[in-house]
Amino acid sequence: MDDLAISHLKEDDDFSGFSCGESDLDDFIMEDAFRNQRNGLTNTYVLYKGNLPVGFYSIVMESVRSADITDVKSFGIPSVAAVLVARLAVDSRYQGKCLGQALLYDAIYTAKELSRTIACRLVVVDSKPESAGFYEKHGFRQITALGRRRYPRYYLDLLTI
């Protein structure tokens, strides 16, 4: 697809025609994303086709218990710094065109760049069961403990990319 660009969410972005098929994600981008960004709670990046927003992801800092990740050396610390991809969605009209992959790769790249300034080792996602294969296909592995989470958490070790 031509004419694609990713940039930071702006207050005047128009998501009125956006629908990814998940009401909680649609509600987030239309009602909460900019307020959360303005208040330093998440940063959201938008994928545009021309001027039309066709996808987005939100990221925030997180930590993961070292004991829950068996194949990443913890160096004797209780938790490992991570970037959480808190939301990721593509408009239904553009699904199946690898745009979710493009957004995920951009989030990983952003996390990798951030790790050069502020130490963080992992990228993590909380995945709905139907999306688990998408993350596994891109090298994410499931964290061993679900804890109080509603969805399984997956991670990618930034030192492996």
140 vs 42: CA distance, rounded Å: 22
**How many CA atoms lie less than 13 Å away from 57 in the CB half-sphere?**
24
101 vs 130: CA distance, rounded Å: 15
- Specify whether the CB–CB gap between 152 and 126 falls below 8 A: yes
Average pLDDT over residues 92-110: 96
For 7-27, how does the pLDDT look when each residue is reduced to its tens digit (9 = 90+)? 999 999 999 999 999 999 999
pTM: predicted TM-score of the whole model, two decimal places: 0.92
70 pLDDT exceeds 70?
yes
Say what the pLDDT of residue 145 is.
66
Phi, psi of 62 (to 5 degrees): -155, 170
For 109-123, how does the pLDDT look when each residue is reduced to its tens digit (9 = 90+)? 999 999 999 999 999
146 pLDDT exceeds 70?
no
Average pLDDT, the chain: 92
Which domains does the chain carry?
A: 4-160 (3.40.630.30)
Say what the pLDDT of residue 1 is.
62
